[in-house]
Amino acid sequence: MMRSGVKYRPPRRPAHVGLEFEHGDEVVWARLRDLSRFGARVDGNFNFAGPDTLALKFGGRRYVAEIVWLRFGSIGLKFLKPLDKKTYMKLLGLSPGQLKSSAQDKKRRHVQA
């Protein structure tokens, strides 16, 4: 049963990667702290007034995201278009088998609990 007002957020995985972000004409270096295909938490020295968008630059491509929250040097992002699986796994430093086995382990732990 879901409580009213509670939003579902896809599970995020730890990702400690330094990346370049574009915010308007400004380029900002920040650390990707955790990641899902739909959003991320990023730590850095941000000077945004909020609601706004920025672009994550990775592998020669830009991934546009909406800033959904800003707190104490961290921002929460929602990607306008979900990351493709290949990019998601590269950002996490995983191979396809690692992602699948990790999800299966999580299910096993949940069933055993």
In a domain, 19, yes or no: yes
Domain around 23: 13-112
Average pLDDT over residues 10-37: 85
Assign 28 a pLDDT band (cuts: 50, 70, 90). confident
Domain count of the fold of the chain? 1
Express each pLDDT in 41-82 by its tens digit: 999 887 766 568 889 888 788 999 999 888 888 999 999 999
**pTM, two decimal places:** 0.73
CA 73/CA 42 separation, integer angstroms: 8
- Is residue 1 domain-resident? no
The token pair that represents 104 in the structure block: 């299966």
- What is the rounded distance in angstroms from the CA atom of residue 14 to the CA atom of residue 11? 10
- What's the CATH number where 36 sits? 2.40.10.220
In a domain, 78, yes or no: yes
